[in-house]
Amino acid sequence: MKETNTNLIHEATGAAAVSPSGTSDDPVRAVPERKVFVKTYGCQMNVYDSQRMTDSLAQQGYVTTQTPEDADLVLLNTCHIREKASEKLYSALGRLRKMKDERAADGRDMLIGVAGCVAQAEGEEIIRRAPSVDLVIGPQTYHRLPQALTRVGRGEKVVETEYAIEDKFEHLPAPGKEQVRSRGVTAFLTVQEGCDKFCTFCVVPYTRGSEVSRPVSQIVAEAERLAAAGVRELTLLGQNVNAWHGQGAGGREWGLGELLFRLAEIPGIARLRYTTSHPRDMDDALIAAHRDLDQLMPYLHLPVQAGSDRILKAMNRRHTGADYLRLVERIRAARPDIALSGDFIVGFPGETEEDFQATMQLVRDVTYAQAYSFKYSPRPGTPGADLPDHVEEAVKDDRLQRLQALLTEQQHAFQRGMVGQSMDVLLEKPGRLPGQMVGRSPWLLPVIVGENPGEIGDIITVRIISTGTNSLVAEAVAAKRQADGAPQALDGASPGKVLSGFPSGLA
């Protein structure tokens, strides 16, 4: 969910090379090689979509490149969450137009495509304002990318933003093992798209459509393929992921808790996460999964957005501050070592200082390990944009500063509480110094471990020796390869749980 997608806003570029056959395991090139540069804006769901588009383009003979100058096709996978998303897109397209003109002067073609949520929201307007764009394709139709490119090759300008009737996931090629490996030992897996909640600040229900859940069999098959290629940690994605309710065997509907148990049975899958969740969709079965499923990591992104009931109502969040606090209590009773992360919006229309203080109080009551906070900015077409009493920018700035100071203090306290603790770390990549490796703690924090602690994909036990701004430094205390999905019991502790007491009262 996209409160949500504020939660991990970043930019990423397509990186790994793939063969035109769609699997790097196949050395035979059936079609001439072309290069695609994919720039991904926004959330993890866009990262996943870019990977799937890259897999699909591989079948058309495209390999990825890191530079647009080098590319035969430049694809911008856009995000509508950030302020002025369209303006930023048009200025990026202005730069690409110059590049395209230079290439044309050299007698070479460069195609420009726009995908993602801005593509969905703006549609034909993009080609009207930026005629150098050849293709506009929405998040629900990107499985039609190959056909769209064929039409572009015939000289058409293509806009594909109608919601597809067919299931796009059924039409997307699976990446080869080498391609999966090149992306690392952690992987995203989209299980749900769209949202029916209609929070008044959010564009997601308009750009991604209503909630759609992928069926159990499709998700399990994709997870098995990822695990067979060496993936050890899966993060299930959805705009409102805990609203997932997919069809299982015999047509019975499953909830996310049941799905997590099923995925935990896949050999090799040692860790599971999911993001992003709405408080109203945290049902008993999902909370029980946090209690009973060792592979489910003790970290939960659970946005609340505000602490004042008046503002929550204006946001159409359909819960109160007290509902949220009660829910947090139930989750912590089930999994005492769970760390919470959240999203906050300050300066929503009509927010008074008293309302803002309710948000500050809720933050003090919950204590977050990490959080994302933003000033409200209206999104065209959302009900919030038409509300009266917009808050002055200077007031929003001041509130954001105070909120972020509190959240940062909590984050640092959480990290300080880790020092001296032992925990399992999944090694993901080499560090900057020789012999160093970087992994992830169960609480999603990067952990830097020295002295050749193991191989990528190993889960090792470390002791935290210090904390940086956004990472931990550790020494290995046991380097045991875990070949199956079961977390190891260490020093007599329960499998998958931290060894010593989890810090509490962090603020």
> Is there binding between residue 2 and ligand SF4 (CB under 6 A)?
yes
- Between 45 and 263, CB nearer to ligand SF4: 45
Is 440 labeled as ligand-binding? no
Is 199 labeled as ligand-binding? yes
| Six token digits for residue 306 | 């505000």
- Between 177 and 280, CB nearer to ligand SF4: 280
> Is there binding between residue 80 and ligand SF4 (CB under 6 A)?
no
Q: Dihedral of CA 18/21/24/28: which sign?
A: negative
Is 43 labeled as ligand-binding? yes
Q: Using the rule CB under 6 A, which residue among 198, 218, 337, 409 binds ligand SF4?
A: 198
- Between 240 and 421, CB nearer to ligand SF4: 240
Residue 306 · residue 200 · CB < 8 Å: no
- CA atoms of 162 and 140, how far apart (whole Å): 8
- Between 153 and 380, CB nearer to ligand SF4: 380
Residue 44 · residue 1 · CB < 8 Å: no
Residue 125 · residue 87 · CB < 8 Å: no
Is 304 labeled as ligand-binding? no
CB of 496 to ligand SF4, least distance (A): 29
Residue 241 · residue 188 · CB < 8 Å: no
Is 138 labeled as ligand-binding? no
CB of 303 to ligand SF4, least distance (A): 7
Is 202 labeled as ligand-binding? yes
> Is there binding between residue 467 and ligand SF4 (CB under 6 A)?
no
- CA atoms of 46 and 39, how far apart (whole Å): 10
Query: Which helix (H) or strand (E) covers residue 233, if one does?
Result: strand 233-237
Residue 203 · residue 377 · CB < 8 Å: no
> Is there binding between residue 341 and ligand SF4 (CB under 6 A)?
no
> Is there binding between residue 199 and ligand SF4 (CB under 6 A)?
yes
Q: Using the rule CB under 6 A, which residue among 34, 144, 168, 197 binds ligand SF4?
A: 197
Please report the DSSP string for 17-60 in residue order.
---TTS-TT-----S--EEEEEEEEESHHHHHHHHHHHHHHHTT
Q: By CB under 6 A, how many residues form the interface with ligand SF4? A: 14
Residues with Cβ within 8 Å of 56's Cβ and at least 6 positions away in sequence, in order, are 142, 143, 145, 146, 172, 173
CB of 389 to ligand SF4, least distance (A): 21
By CB under 6 A, the residues from 253 to 292 that bind ligand SF4 are 278
Binding residues for [4Fe-4S] cluster: 43, 79, 117, 195, 199, 202
Binding residues: 43, 79, 117, 195, 199, 202
